[in-house]
Amino acid sequence: MVSDPLFDVLRSYAILKSPKLIQRPSVSFKSAHNFLLDHVLLNPHFQEFPPSGQYQLSFWKWAVDWLEGLMTEEDELDERIYSHHVDLLQSTPSYVRINNVWFAMPQPSYLTYLWPTTRVMERPVYPGYASATLLESRTTIEAGTTGLRTWSASLVLAQYILTHPELIVARRVLELGCGVGFLGLIAASVQLEGRDPENASLWLTDVNERVLQRCETNLSLTCNDSSHHSNVRVQLLDWSDAVDPSRRPSVSGLFNEASPDVILGADLVYGPSIIPLLVGVLNMALRPRGEQHNPVAYIALTVRNPSTIADFIQQAGESLAIEEVAALPVVQNLFTQSTELGQDASQEVKIIIIKRRAD
Ligand SMILES: C[S@@+](CC[C@H](N)C(=O)[O-])C[C@H]1O[C@@H](n2cnc3c(N)ncnc32)[C@H](O)[C@@H]1O
Protein backbone atom coordinates (compact mmCIF):
# COMPACT_ATOMS: atom_id res chain seq x y z
CA MET A 1 0.00 0.00 0.00
CA VAL A 2 1.20 3.54 -0.78
CA SER A 3 2.37 5.12 2.47
CA ASP A 4 2.50 8.70 1.23
CA PRO A 5 1.20 10.79 4.17
CA LEU A 6 -0.26 13.25 1.66
CA PHE A 7 -2.36 10.44 0.22
CA ASP A 8 -4.16 10.23 3.59
CA VAL A 9 -5.19 13.87 3.13
CA LEU A 10 -6.68 13.02 -0.27
CA ARG A 11 -8.42 9.93 1.11
CA SER A 12 -9.86 11.98 3.98
CA TYR A 13 -11.19 14.58 1.54
CA ALA A 14 -12.72 11.84 -0.62
CA ILE A 15 -14.76 10.43 2.29
CA LEU A 16 -15.55 13.78 3.92
CA LYS A 17 -13.52 13.19 7.06
CA SER A 18 -13.83 16.14 9.42
CA PRO A 19 -10.77 18.37 8.82
CA LYS A 20 -10.14 18.61 12.56
CA LEU A 21 -9.41 14.86 12.51
CA ILE A 22 -7.03 14.99 9.52
CA GLN A 23 -3.36 14.86 10.45
CA ARG A 24 -1.14 17.46 8.85
CA PRO A 25 1.85 15.55 7.50
CA SER A 26 5.31 17.02 8.12
CA VAL A 27 6.13 18.07 4.58
CA SER A 28 7.41 21.24 2.91
CA PHE A 29 5.10 24.02 1.70
CA LYS A 30 5.87 23.08 -1.90
CA SER A 31 4.96 19.39 -1.45
CA ALA A 32 1.71 20.13 0.38
CA HIS A 33 0.75 22.96 -1.97
CA ASN A 34 1.41 21.04 -5.18
CA PHE A 35 -0.32 17.93 -3.89
CA LEU A 36 -3.45 19.84 -2.83
CA LEU A 37 -3.53 21.70 -6.13
CA ASP A 38 -2.85 18.82 -8.53
CA HIS A 39 -4.35 15.80 -6.74
CA VAL A 40 -7.25 17.40 -4.89
CA LEU A 41 -8.42 20.69 -6.40
CA LEU A 42 -7.65 19.91 -10.04
CA ASN A 43 -8.28 16.16 -9.81
CA PRO A 44 -10.71 15.46 -12.69
CA HIS A 45 -12.54 12.87 -10.55
CA PHE A 46 -13.34 15.36 -7.79
CA GLN A 47 -14.34 17.96 -10.36
CA GLU A 48 -16.94 15.55 -11.73
CA PHE A 49 -17.94 13.94 -8.40
CA PRO A 50 -17.19 16.61 -5.78
CA PRO A 51 -17.71 16.48 -2.03
CA SER A 52 -20.57 18.79 -0.94
CA GLY A 53 -19.95 22.55 -0.93
CA GLN A 54 -20.34 22.52 2.86
CA TYR A 55 -17.59 19.95 3.26
CA GLN A 56 -15.30 21.61 0.75
CA LEU A 57 -15.64 24.91 2.61
CA SER A 58 -14.42 23.36 5.87
CA PHE A 59 -11.69 21.39 4.08
CA TRP A 60 -10.26 24.34 2.13
CA LYS A 61 -10.36 26.58 5.20
CA TRP A 62 -8.26 23.91 6.96
CA ALA A 63 -5.98 23.50 3.92
CA VAL A 64 -5.39 27.26 3.45
CA ASP A 65 -4.59 27.62 7.21
CA TRP A 66 -2.15 24.73 6.91
CA LEU A 67 -0.44 26.12 3.80
CA GLU A 68 -0.22 29.63 5.26
CA GLY A 69 1.46 28.17 8.33
CA LEU A 70 4.10 26.46 6.15
CA MET A 71 4.78 29.48 3.90
CA THR A 72 8.04 31.38 3.82
CA GLU A 73 8.46 34.82 2.24
CA GLU A 74 9.34 33.36 -1.15
CA ASP A 75 6.27 31.10 -1.28
CA GLU A 76 2.97 31.97 -2.89
CA LEU A 77 -0.40 30.28 -2.84
CA ASP A 78 -1.78 29.47 -6.27
CA GLU A 79 -4.58 31.86 -7.21
CA ARG A 80 -6.89 28.91 -7.98
CA ILE A 81 -6.80 27.75 -4.36
CA TYR A 82 -7.71 31.21 -3.06
CA SER A 83 -10.47 31.79 -5.58
CA HIS A 84 -11.98 28.33 -4.97
CA HIS A 85 -12.06 29.09 -1.23
CA VAL A 86 -13.67 32.49 -1.86
CA ASP A 87 -16.29 30.96 -4.19
CA LEU A 88 -17.19 28.45 -1.48
CA LEU A 89 -17.49 31.20 1.12
CA GLN A 90 -19.92 33.06 -1.12
CA SER A 91 -22.22 30.13 -1.83
CA THR A 92 -24.97 29.92 0.80
CA PRO A 93 -25.83 26.61 2.50
CA SER A 94 -29.52 25.88 3.14
CA TYR A 95 -30.68 26.32 6.74
CA VAL A 96 -33.48 24.83 8.87
CA ARG A 97 -34.84 26.26 12.10
CA ILE A 98 -35.16 23.87 15.08
CA ASN A 99 -36.35 25.35 18.42
CA ASN A 100 -35.51 28.83 17.17
CA VAL A 101 -31.92 27.89 16.33
CA TRP A 102 -30.78 27.84 12.70
CA PHE A 103 -28.81 24.81 11.50
CA ALA A 104 -27.16 24.21 8.14
CA MET A 105 -28.85 21.16 6.58
CA PRO A 106 -26.21 18.56 5.73
CA GLN A 107 -26.20 18.37 1.94
CA PRO A 108 -26.09 15.09 0.04
CA SER A 109 -22.59 14.54 -1.21
CA TYR A 110 -20.44 12.35 -3.38
CA LEU A 111 -18.10 10.16 -1.34
CA THR A 112 -15.23 8.28 -2.96
CA TYR A 113 -13.86 5.23 -1.14
CA LEU A 114 -10.36 4.07 -2.15
CA TRP A 115 -8.57 0.76 -1.70
CA PRO A 116 -5.20 -0.48 -2.96
CA THR A 117 -5.10 -2.52 -6.14
CA THR A 118 -2.49 -4.06 -8.42
CA ARG A 119 -4.82 -3.55 -11.39
CA VAL A 120 -3.70 -1.08 -14.04
CA MET A 121 -6.46 1.48 -14.34
CA GLU A 122 -7.14 4.00 -17.06
CA ARG A 123 -8.12 7.02 -14.98
CA PRO A 124 -7.50 6.25 -11.29
CA VAL A 125 -8.46 8.84 -8.68
CA TYR A 126 -4.97 8.17 -7.33
CA PRO A 127 -2.37 5.79 -8.82
CA GLY A 128 -2.41 2.30 -7.27
CA TYR A 129 -5.94 2.67 -5.88
CA ALA A 130 -9.32 1.43 -7.06
CA SER A 131 -12.37 3.46 -6.09
CA ALA A 132 -16.11 3.41 -5.53
CA THR A 133 -18.09 6.66 -5.69
CA LEU A 134 -21.57 7.20 -4.27
CA LEU A 135 -24.02 10.01 -3.79
CA GLU A 136 -25.05 9.72 -0.12
CA SER A 137 -27.12 11.65 2.37
CA ARG A 138 -25.24 12.93 5.38
CA THR A 139 -28.09 12.46 7.85
CA THR A 140 -28.79 9.38 9.96
CA ILE A 141 -32.44 9.08 8.96
CA GLU A 142 -33.90 10.88 5.97
CA ALA A 143 -37.28 10.48 4.27
CA GLY A 144 -38.11 7.78 6.84
CA THR A 145 -35.19 5.50 5.96
CA THR A 146 -31.68 4.77 7.22
CA GLY A 147 -30.74 3.52 3.77
CA LEU A 148 -29.57 6.73 2.09
CA ARG A 149 -26.05 6.60 3.49
CA THR A 150 -23.36 3.97 4.02
CA TRP A 151 -23.04 2.42 7.51
CA SER A 152 -19.85 1.10 9.05
CA ALA A 153 -20.99 -2.56 8.98
CA SER A 154 -20.86 -2.28 5.17
CA LEU A 155 -17.31 -0.95 5.35
CA VAL A 156 -16.25 -3.92 7.49
CA LEU A 157 -17.97 -6.49 5.25
CA ALA A 158 -16.47 -4.82 2.16
CA GLN A 159 -13.02 -5.33 3.60
CA TYR A 160 -13.84 -8.97 4.31
CA ILE A 161 -14.86 -9.45 0.67
CA LEU A 162 -11.77 -7.69 -0.64
CA THR A 163 -9.57 -9.97 1.44
CA HIS A 164 -11.61 -13.09 0.50
CA PRO A 165 -12.53 -12.43 -3.16
CA GLU A 166 -12.99 -16.17 -3.81
CA LEU A 167 -16.25 -15.98 -1.83
CA ILE A 168 -18.00 -14.00 -4.56
CA VAL A 169 -15.93 -14.35 -7.75
CA ALA A 170 -17.93 -16.14 -10.48
CA ARG A 171 -20.80 -16.52 -7.97
CA ARG A 172 -24.41 -15.45 -7.87
CA VAL A 173 -24.65 -12.87 -5.10
CA LEU A 174 -27.73 -11.29 -3.54
CA GLU A 175 -27.61 -8.47 -0.99
CA LEU A 176 -30.40 -7.82 1.51
CA GLY A 177 -31.02 -4.20 2.58
CA CYS A 178 -28.42 -2.87 0.14
CA GLY A 179 -28.96 0.84 0.90
CA VAL A 180 -27.23 3.20 -1.55
CA GLY A 181 -25.01 0.39 -2.85
CA PHE A 182 -21.53 0.69 -1.30
CA LEU A 183 -21.13 -3.06 -0.72
CA GLY A 184 -22.58 -3.75 -4.17
CA LEU A 185 -19.99 -1.47 -5.77
CA ILE A 186 -17.17 -3.33 -4.03
CA ALA A 187 -18.69 -6.71 -4.93
CA ALA A 188 -19.02 -5.62 -8.58
CA SER A 189 -15.32 -4.61 -8.70
CA VAL A 190 -14.25 -7.89 -7.12
CA GLN A 191 -16.38 -9.96 -9.53
CA LEU A 192 -15.14 -8.07 -12.58
CA GLU A 193 -11.52 -8.42 -11.51
CA GLY A 194 -11.84 -12.16 -10.82
CA ARG A 195 -12.15 -15.12 -13.15
CA ASP A 196 -15.24 -15.79 -15.30
CA PRO A 197 -16.99 -12.48 -14.66
CA GLU A 198 -19.65 -13.56 -17.16
CA ASN A 199 -20.77 -16.24 -14.67
CA ALA A 200 -21.15 -13.73 -11.85
CA SER A 201 -24.36 -11.98 -10.95
CA LEU A 202 -25.26 -9.38 -8.38
CA TRP A 203 -28.80 -8.68 -7.12
CA LEU A 204 -29.11 -5.71 -4.79
CA THR A 205 -32.37 -5.60 -2.85
CA ASP A 206 -34.05 -3.18 -0.47
CA VAL A 207 -37.55 -2.21 0.65
CA ASN A 208 -37.37 1.52 -0.02
CA GLU A 209 -38.01 2.89 -3.53
CA ARG A 210 -35.96 6.04 -3.01
CA VAL A 211 -33.05 4.00 -1.68
CA LEU A 212 -33.26 1.67 -4.68
CA GLN A 213 -33.27 4.60 -7.10
CA ARG A 214 -30.19 6.11 -5.45
CA CYS A 215 -28.51 2.70 -5.49
CA GLU A 216 -29.22 2.30 -9.20
CA THR A 217 -27.85 5.77 -9.97
CA ASN A 218 -24.67 5.04 -7.99
CA LEU A 219 -24.13 1.72 -9.76
CA SER A 220 -24.38 3.41 -13.14
CA LEU A 221 -21.89 6.24 -12.43
CA THR A 222 -19.35 5.86 -15.21
CA CYS A 223 -16.42 6.08 -12.77
CA ASN A 224 -17.58 2.88 -11.02
CA ASP A 225 -16.65 -0.65 -12.20
CA SER A 226 -20.29 -1.63 -11.66
CA SER A 227 -21.27 0.42 -14.75
CA HIS A 228 -19.42 -2.25 -16.81
CA HIS A 229 -20.94 -5.25 -14.98
CA SER A 230 -23.42 -6.88 -17.33
CA ASN A 231 -25.32 -8.80 -14.66
CA VAL A 232 -26.35 -6.42 -11.90
CA ARG A 233 -29.95 -5.99 -10.87
CA VAL A 234 -31.55 -3.65 -8.32
CA GLN A 235 -34.73 -5.16 -6.96
CA LEU A 236 -37.47 -4.42 -4.44
CA LEU A 237 -37.60 -7.02 -1.64
CA ASP A 238 -39.45 -6.54 1.64
CA TRP A 239 -38.43 -9.10 4.29
CA SER A 240 -41.91 -8.93 5.83
CA ASP A 241 -43.22 -10.65 2.67
CA ALA A 242 -41.29 -13.75 3.73
CA VAL A 243 -43.54 -14.17 6.79
CA ASP A 244 -46.83 -13.30 5.05
CA PRO A 245 -48.38 -16.46 3.53
CA SER A 246 -50.09 -14.47 0.76
CA ARG A 247 -46.83 -12.79 -0.34
CA ARG A 248 -44.36 -15.61 0.25
CA PRO A 249 -44.77 -16.99 -3.29
CA SER A 250 -43.43 -13.76 -4.83
CA VAL A 251 -40.37 -13.92 -2.53
CA SER A 252 -39.85 -17.57 -3.52
CA GLY A 253 -40.10 -16.56 -7.17
CA LEU A 254 -37.46 -13.87 -6.69
CA PHE A 255 -35.03 -16.27 -4.96
CA ASN A 256 -35.65 -19.00 -7.56
CA GLU A 257 -34.77 -16.56 -10.31
CA ALA A 258 -31.72 -15.09 -8.53
CA SER A 259 -30.68 -18.54 -7.23
CA PRO A 260 -28.04 -16.93 -5.00
CA ASP A 261 -24.88 -18.80 -3.94
CA VAL A 262 -24.00 -15.99 -1.54
CA ILE A 263 -26.22 -13.68 0.50
CA LEU A 264 -24.73 -10.46 1.86
CA GLY A 265 -26.20 -8.08 4.42
CA ALA A 266 -24.82 -5.23 6.51
CA ASP A 267 -26.41 -3.43 9.45
CA LEU A 268 -29.79 -5.07 9.09
CA VAL A 269 -30.50 -5.92 12.73
CA TYR A 270 -31.33 -2.63 14.39
CA GLY A 271 -34.41 -3.57 16.43
CA PRO A 272 -36.19 -6.63 17.86
CA SER A 273 -39.20 -6.36 15.52
CA ILE A 274 -37.05 -6.91 12.44
CA ILE A 275 -35.61 -10.24 13.70
CA PRO A 276 -38.43 -12.67 12.73
CA LEU A 277 -38.66 -11.06 9.27
CA LEU A 278 -34.96 -11.35 8.66
CA VAL A 279 -34.82 -14.93 9.92
CA GLY A 280 -37.78 -15.72 7.63
CA VAL A 281 -36.14 -14.23 4.56
CA LEU A 282 -32.77 -15.88 5.34
CA ASN A 283 -34.47 -19.27 5.60
CA MET A 284 -35.97 -18.76 2.15
CA ALA A 285 -32.77 -17.37 0.59
CA LEU A 286 -30.61 -20.22 1.95
CA ARG A 287 -32.78 -23.01 0.53
CA PRO A 288 -30.69 -25.16 -1.84
CA ARG A 289 -31.87 -24.93 -5.45
CA GLY A 290 -30.29 -28.03 -6.94
CA GLU A 291 -28.07 -30.85 -5.65
CA GLN A 292 -24.75 -28.99 -5.49
CA HIS A 293 -26.30 -25.74 -4.34
CA ASN A 294 -25.45 -24.75 -0.76
CA PRO A 295 -25.95 -21.02 -0.35
CA VAL A 296 -24.09 -19.15 2.41
CA ALA A 297 -24.89 -15.79 4.01
CA TYR A 298 -22.29 -13.30 5.30
CA ILE A 299 -24.00 -10.83 7.58
CA ALA A 300 -22.25 -7.88 9.28
CA LEU A 301 -23.93 -6.89 12.55
CA THR A 302 -23.33 -3.57 14.27
CA VAL A 303 -23.54 -4.20 18.00
CA ARG A 304 -25.57 -1.19 19.18
CA ASN A 305 -27.55 -3.25 21.66
CA PRO A 306 -25.86 -6.57 22.50
CA SER A 307 -29.16 -8.18 23.59
CA THR A 308 -30.77 -7.48 20.17
CA ILE A 309 -27.82 -9.14 18.43
CA ALA A 310 -27.95 -12.08 20.86
CA ASP A 311 -31.70 -12.45 20.16
CA PHE A 312 -31.06 -12.47 16.40
CA ILE A 313 -28.33 -15.11 16.73
CA GLN A 314 -30.52 -17.20 19.02
CA GLN A 315 -33.64 -17.00 16.78
CA ALA A 316 -31.68 -17.58 13.55
CA GLY A 317 -29.85 -20.47 15.26
CA GLU A 318 -33.15 -22.31 15.83
CA SER A 319 -33.37 -23.13 12.11
CA LEU A 320 -29.92 -22.26 10.66
CA ALA A 321 -26.23 -22.94 11.39
CA ILE A 322 -24.31 -19.87 12.58
CA GLU A 323 -20.60 -19.27 12.90
CA GLU A 324 -18.87 -16.05 13.92
CA VAL A 325 -15.84 -14.78 11.96
CA ALA A 326 -12.89 -13.81 14.16
CA ALA A 327 -12.61 -10.02 14.53
CA LEU A 328 -10.66 -8.27 11.79
CA PRO A 329 -7.48 -6.68 13.11
CA VAL A 330 -8.21 -2.95 13.49
CA VAL A 331 -5.04 -1.99 11.67
CA GLN A 332 -6.35 -3.70 8.57
CA ASN A 333 -9.66 -1.89 8.58
CA LEU A 334 -9.24 -0.45 5.14
CA PHE A 335 -12.22 1.81 5.13
CA THR A 336 -13.22 2.36 8.76
CA GLN A 337 -9.72 3.42 9.78
CA SER A 338 -10.02 6.64 7.86
CA THR A 339 -13.75 7.19 7.96
CA GLU A 340 -15.56 9.38 10.38
CA LEU A 341 -19.13 8.21 10.71
CA GLY A 342 -19.84 9.70 14.11
CA GLN A 343 -21.08 7.29 16.75
CA ASP A 344 -21.60 4.48 14.23
CA ALA A 345 -17.83 4.14 13.64
CA SER A 346 -17.03 3.40 17.30
CA GLN A 347 -19.40 0.42 17.58
CA GLU A 348 -18.26 -3.16 17.30
CA VAL A 349 -19.14 -4.96 14.06
CA LYS A 350 -19.42 -8.78 14.03
CA ILE A 351 -19.47 -10.82 10.83
CA ILE A 352 -21.44 -14.04 11.01
CA ILE A 353 -21.68 -16.85 8.48
CA ILE A 354 -25.10 -18.47 8.18
CA LYS A 355 -25.84 -21.74 6.40
CA ARG A 356 -28.56 -24.29 6.14
CA ARG A 357 -28.34 -26.85 8.96
CA ALA A 358 -26.99 -30.26 7.88
CA ASP A 359 -30.00 -32.56 8.49
C1 LIG B 1 -29.00 0.68 8.42
S2 LIG B 1 -29.43 0.55 6.73
C3 LIG B 1 -28.04 -0.35 6.10
C4 LIG B 1 -27.81 -0.06 4.64
C5 LIG B 1 -26.54 -0.73 4.07
N6 LIG B 1 -26.63 -2.17 4.16
C7 LIG B 1 -25.32 -0.25 4.81
O8 LIG B 1 -24.81 -0.99 5.67
O9 LIG B 1 -24.84 0.86 4.54
C10 LIG B 1 -30.71 -0.72 6.74
C11 LIG B 1 -31.27 -1.03 5.37
O12 LIG B 1 -32.23 -2.08 5.48
C13 LIG B 1 -33.35 -1.76 4.68
N14 LIG B 1 -34.56 -2.41 5.26
C15 LIG B 1 -35.15 -2.13 6.42
N16 LIG B 1 -36.25 -2.88 6.60
C17 LIG B 1 -36.35 -3.67 5.49
C18 LIG B 1 -37.30 -4.66 5.07
N19 LIG B 1 -38.37 -4.95 5.80
N20 LIG B 1 -37.08 -5.27 3.89
C21 LIG B 1 -35.99 -4.96 3.14
N22 LIG B 1 -35.07 -4.02 3.48
C23 LIG B 1 -35.27 -3.38 4.65
C24 LIG B 1 -33.44 -0.24 4.75
O25 LIG B 1 -34.20 0.31 3.68
C26 LIG B 1 -31.98 0.16 4.71
O27 LIG B 1 -31.52 0.34 3.41
> 122 versus 232: which is more confidently predicted?
232
For ligand 1, atom 4, which residue shows the shortest CA distance? 179
The mean per-residue pLDDT over the stretch 137-166 comes to 88
d(CA 31, CA 198): 44
> In this structure, how many other beta carbons lie within 10 angstroms of the beta carbon of residue 348?
13
Topology (CATH) of 139-356: Rossmann fold (3.40.50)
Q: What is the mean pLDDT of the chain?
A: 91
Q: Can you give the C-alpha Rg of the chain in angstroms?
A: 22
Half-sphere exposure in the Cβ direction for 255 (13 Å, CA) = 25
pLDDT digits (tens, 9 = 90+) for 299-308: 999 998 999 9
128 φψ region: left (φ > 0), alpha (ψ -120 to 50), beta (else): left
The mean per-residue pLDDT over the stretch 150-154 comes to 92
Ligand 1 contact, 299 CB (< 6 A):
no
For ligand 1, atom 5, which residue shows the shortest CA distance? 179
What ligand 1 atom has the least distance to the C-alpha of 265? 6
Ligand 1 contact, 266 CB (< 6 A):
yes
Ligand 1 contact, 114 CB (< 6 A):
no
d(CA 158, CA 161): 5
Q: Where in the chain is CATH 3.40.50.150? A: 139-356
Contact 40, 80 (CB under 8 A): no
pLDDT of residue 331: 46
Separation in Å, CA 141 to CA 115, 147, 175, 221, 262: 27, 8, 21, 24, 28
* Beta bridge mates, 134: 111
Ligand 1 contact, 188 CB (< 6 A):
no
Ligand 1 contact, 207 CB (< 6 A):
yes
| CA of 147 relative to ligand 1 center, distance in Å | 6
Ligand 1 contact, 339 CB (< 6 A):
no
Give the distance from CA 50 to its chain's centroid: 17
* Beta bridge mates, 246: none
pLDDT of residue 256: 97
Ligand 1 contact, 238 CB (< 6 A):
yes
d(CA 46, CA 98): 33
pLDDT of residue 142: 74
131 burial via Cβ count (<10 Å: 0-12, 13-18, 19+): buried
